[in-house]
Amino acid sequence: MTALPLSDGSVDAIMTVNTIYFVQDLNRAFAEFARVLSGAGRIVVGIGDPVAMARVPFVQYGFTVRPVSDVLQAMESAGRTVTAHDRVRDGDDAFHLLIARTG
């Protein structure tokens, strides 16, 4: 996710679900997304709620669980404007769907 084998501006959309847990440098990943996205490109990110994820025993094996605000900040730092933050379900076990476009 931090070194995509794609040309600048070559894709219209990127969708990643439950994968950013395995990326150490989130800002670099979102900068790379921004590089390969076309001017009208969109990024869609799906993540579990960090409180719920922290309770899952297997996250101790290579997962980096971050606050949703950190993910939103990384999207914004890459020049993306967050246009939606939807929660699927209520409470700590909610799933977060984040959508951003070119700033």
- The whole-number pLDDT of residue 89 equals 85
**Which among 68, 15, 59, 8 is positioned nearest to 34, based on CA atoms?**
8
User: Residue written as tokens 């900040």?
Assistant: 73
- The whole-number pLDDT of residue 103 equals 65
Report the C-alpha gap between 64 and 50 in whole angstroms.
Answer: 10
Contact 68, 96 (CB under 8 A): yes
Domain boundaries along the sequence of the chain: 12-95
Burial profile 61-90: b = 16 or more Cβ within 10 angstroms, e = fewer:
eeeebbebeebbbbbeebebebeeeeeeee
**Which among 97, 60, 53, 94 is positioned nearest to 75, based on CA atoms?**
97
pTM of the model: 0.89
CA dihedral 90, 91, 92, 97 (to 10 degrees): 30
> In order along the chain (103 residues), what is the average pLDDT of each group of 10 residues?
96 95 95 94 94 89 93 94 91 88 80
